[in-house]
Amino acid sequence: MLLCFISLSNKRIEKPLNKKIPVIWVDSFIGKDFSFKDEWSYPEEVFRNKYGQLSCDSGMCHGTKTMKDANGRILKDSLEAFYKIVDTTHLKHTLKSTARVYEWLDSKFITFKRSNDNSITGESSCSAATHSSLNIQIKNDSILTWVDFKSIRNLGTHQFPLKKGYIKIDKKSFKGGIIKAEFDLTFFNTIDESSPISWRGLIHSKINN
**Do 27 and 56 reside in the same domain of the chain?**
no
**Do 70 and 101 reside in the same domain of the chain?**
no
pLDDT at residue 156, as a whole number: 93
Instruction: Write the pLDDT tens digit of every residue in 3-23.
Output: 444 343 444 556 666 789 999
* Cβ atoms < 10 Å from Cβ of 155: 18
**Do 156 and 188 reside in the same domain of the chain?**
yes
Instruction: Write the pLDDT tens digit of every residue in 47-106.
Output: 899 999 989 875 667 888 899 998 989 999 999 999 888 888 889 999 999 999 999 999
Judge whether 11 lies within some domain.
Answer: no
Q: Report the alpha-carbon distance of residue 52 to residue 7 in Å, rounded.
A: 43
**Do 159 and 75 reside in the same domain of the chain?**
no
Judge whether 138 lies within some domain.
Answer: yes
Question: Closest by alpha carbon to 57, among 115, 130, 68?
Answer: 68
* Cβ atoms < 10 Å from Cβ of 168: 16
Number of domains in the chain: 2
Judge whether 198 lies within some domain.
Answer: yes
The angle subtended at Cα 125 by Cα 31 and Cα 59, nearest 5°, is 140
pLDDT at residue 13, as a whole number: 57
**Do 127 and 70 reside in the same domain of the chain?**
no
Judge whether 6 lies within some domain.
Answer: no
* Backbone phi and psi for residue 186, each to the nearest 5 degrees, phi listed first: -125, 140
Judge whether 4 lies within some domain.
Answer: no
**Do 121 and 195 reside in the same domain of the chain?**
yes
**Do 32 and 56 reside in the same domain of the chain?**
no
Beta-sheet strands, E only, within 27-156: 40-41, 46-48, 54-56, 91-92, 95-100, 110-114, 120-124, 132-139, 142-150
Strand partners, 55: 47
Question: Closest by alpha carbon to 48, among 59, 37, 58, 57?
Answer: 57
β 178-187/197-208 pair status:
antiparallel
**Do 62 and 130 reside in the same domain of the chain?**
no
**Do 168 and 198 reside in the same domain of the chain?**
yes
Range of the domain at 132: 20-38+91-208
**Do 49 and 71 reside in the same domain of the chain?**
yes
Judge whether 150 lies within some domain.
Answer: yes
Instruction: Evaluate if residue 122 carries a pLDDT over 50.
Output: yes
Judge whether 15 lies within some domain.
Answer: no
